[in-house]
Amino acid sequence: MSARPLALVTGGRRRLGAAIAARLATAGYNLALHGREAGGELDAALAAAIRAGGARAEDLTADLADGAAAEALPGEASARFGRPVALLVNSASAFAWDTPADATMRGLLDHYAANAAAPTLLARAVARQRAPGACVVNILDQRVAQPIADQFSYTMSKVALAEMTPVLARFFAPGLRVNAVAPGLTIPTPDYSPGQLGRLAARMPLRALPRPEEVAEAVLFLARAGAVTGQVIFVDGGAHLERWEADFVRLERDARD
């Protein structure tokens, strides 16, 4: 059995989850990579990091809106690797556009289930495995500091997870540490233009947008910081210090881009 600790990364096959998983692979972790659906090509940078780091990686599939499936995931990861989960990164997120004007009961509940309830059930399952020094890192969003109405169901579910983080940290101590990282605009979707990104960066207090690697380093720091629990680290160029009138995708748009 490998002596490498096991990290379970939800949403770990793509985008920010893949960047986090890649850093963990080079830091000495084996990886249980969760996705909602089976198959699909692995992020190229993640695949390269797994090879370079000599890590073992396994894919796991679960719909995190299903409570039983979510709570069973750490046990499945542990069975695959023959060791308990040492690090849980709750990176998977449901994300849809709505506002208080058109939010539905179904949308609100679906976002809460995937983005707040599932991370809680996953953390509980990891706590029960009792891995020495085990840690949970919840991936939030800088908007939890200054919530807005855009993507209302998503935003409120992340606010809930942010509030849960110190509660879970206190409840599961001393056997499990629970912290969070709140990224800013890190990996833009195709509806952002290059010019728009530059203008948004200029509006940040640090005049820059965060890189995925910086978010991953914050996760790794929390995984290693044995005296830290119940904390949220914002990796956002200072975005959480400002009050934004709308979601970033609706700001600094220019038809000339």
Tell me if residue 29 is catalytic.
no
As to burial, measured by CB atoms within 10 angstroms (0-12 exposed, 13-18 middle, 19+ buried), residue 226 is exposed
Domains of the chain, each with CATH number or no CATH: 6-192+209-242 (3.40.50.720)
| Confidence category of residue 38, pLDDT binned at 50, 70, 90 | confident
Comparing CA positions, the residue from 48, 60, 3 lying closest to residue 30 is: 3
* Residue 151, helix vs strand vs coil: coil
Whole-number pLDDT of residue 37: 83
Q: For 1-13, how does the pLDDT look when each residue is reduced to its tens digit (9 = 90+)?
A: 568 999 999 999 9
Q: For 192-220, how does the pLDDT look when each residue is reduced to its tens digit (9 = 90+)?
A: 988 999 999 999 999 999 999 999 999 99
Query: Cβ of 193: how many Cβ atoms within 10 Å?
Result: 16
Q: For 65-95, how does the pLDDT look when each residue is reduced to its tens digit (9 = 90+)?
A: 999 999 999 999 999 999 999 999 999 999 9
CB 140 within 8 A of CB 215: no
Angle, helix 118-129 to helix 67-81, in steps of 10 degrees: 40
Distant-in-sequence, close-in-space partners of 241: CB < 8 Å, separation ≥ 6: 145, 205
CB 225 within 8 A of CB 216: no
Distant-in-sequence, close-in-space partners of 96: CB < 8 Å, separation ≥ 6: 107, 111, 151, 153, 154
Angle, helix 152-172 to helix 105-112, in steps of 10 degrees: 30
- Enumerate the β-bridge partners of residue 10: 90
- pTM exceeding 0.85: yes
Q: For 177-199, how does the pLDDT look when each residue is reduced to its tens digit (9 = 90+)?
A: 999 999 999 998 888 988 999 99
Whole-number pLDDT of residue 136: 99
Mean pLDDT of the residues in the chain:
96
Q: Which residue has the tokens 């490998």?
A: 2
What letter would DSSP give residue 143?
G
| Confidence category of residue 256, pLDDT binned at 50, 70, 90 | low
Angle at 78 between CA 220 and CA 22, to 5 degrees: 30
Q: For 94-143, how does the pLDDT look when each residue is reduced to its tens digit (9 = 90+)?
A: 999 999 999 999 999 999 999 999 999 999 999 999 999 999 999 999 99
**237 pLDDT above the threshold of 80:** yes
Rounded Cα–Cα distance for residues 20 and 25 (Å): 9
- Enumerate the β-bridge partners of residue 89: 9, 137
